[in-house]
Amino acid sequence: MDKFQNKYRIASNRWQYWDYLLPGSYYITICIAGKEELLGHIENGKMILSEYGEIVKSEFLRLPDYHQRVSLEEWVIMPNHVHCIIWLDDYCDGENEGEVVVEIIHELSLRAEDEIKQYRKHRRKMLIPKILGKFQMQTSKRMNILGNTPGKTNWQPNYYDHVIRGDDDYARIREYIIDNPSNWKDDKFNNFKDQ
């Protein structure tokens, strides 16, 4: 494990110095904490949602209401994780594009500590992490009310993301999401480890 300022830190899954406010398609996977198959089960290659899975489904359908630039494209709920493709539309009228562009660099060591702090500060404003944080918070709150488990952590603290790069990449990921329930036994997230 790497150290930063003499402290251990968990490496981020995010694409370093990518601005998650930029227009484009983002493939996201969020896993349930502890491998718990909370969201339902697979029966004959089809996902049967539990009450918890229904909560997640209803919140997925609300994602476009989170922000005017957000569209939910393909998505699937699995027993212990979810996959989706989120599209961020181009900047809206009144949104200051100049303030949201982040310079992409090749070497972290080239940046001064102040610049790294500025990037982290800017990152907190990025749309994809905000959307996913709200999604996890809203679903967890409702799941905990249903299960009478106040304060329970339902999701892993981290998530997997991939910035989709082109039509072939999009088509491959979309097909993976659609086929996921029928491929449950071979799914790499079926045997995932908490991050």
pLDDT in tens, 26-77: 999 999 999 899 999 999 999 999 999 999 999 999 999 988 888 999 999 9
At residue 120, the pLDDT reads 53
At residue 113, the pLDDT reads 60
Tens digits of residue pLDDT in 131-161: 999 999 999 999 999 999 999 999 998 888 8
Considering only residues 18 and 167, tell me which one the structure prediction assigns the higher pLDDT: 167
The one-letter code for the residue type at 121 is K
pLDDT at 103 over 50: no
At residue 32, the pLDDT reads 97
Kindly report the average pLDDT of the chain as a whole number: 78
DSSP-H helix ranges across the chain: 51-66, 113-123, 127-147, 167-179
At residue 53, the pLDDT reads 98
C-beta of residue 138 within 8 angstroms of C-beta of residue 59 = yes
Tokens matching residue 56: 């997640």
Q: How is residue 184 annotated by DSSP?
A: G
Q: What would be the CATH architecture of the domain defined by 18-180?
A: 2-Layer Sandwich (3.30)
Distances (CA, A) of 44 to 48, 81, 174, 181, 184: 10, 18, 21, 9, 10
| Of 104-118, 132-146, 158-172, the least confident | 104-118
Rounded CA separation 137/60 (Å):
13
Among candidate residues 162, 161, 155, the one with its CA nearest the CA of residue 194: 155
The one-letter code for the residue type at 78 is M
C-beta of residue 126 within 8 angstroms of C-beta of residue 19 = yes
C-beta of residue 66 within 8 angstroms of C-beta of residue 134 = yes
The SS3 of residue 25 is strand
Highest mean pLDDT among 9-13, 53-57, 87-91: 53-57
| Of 73-87, 94-108, 163-177, the least confident | 94-108
Considering only residues 150 and 116, tell me which one the structure prediction assigns the higher pLDDT: 150
Share of the chain above pLDDT 90, in %: 51
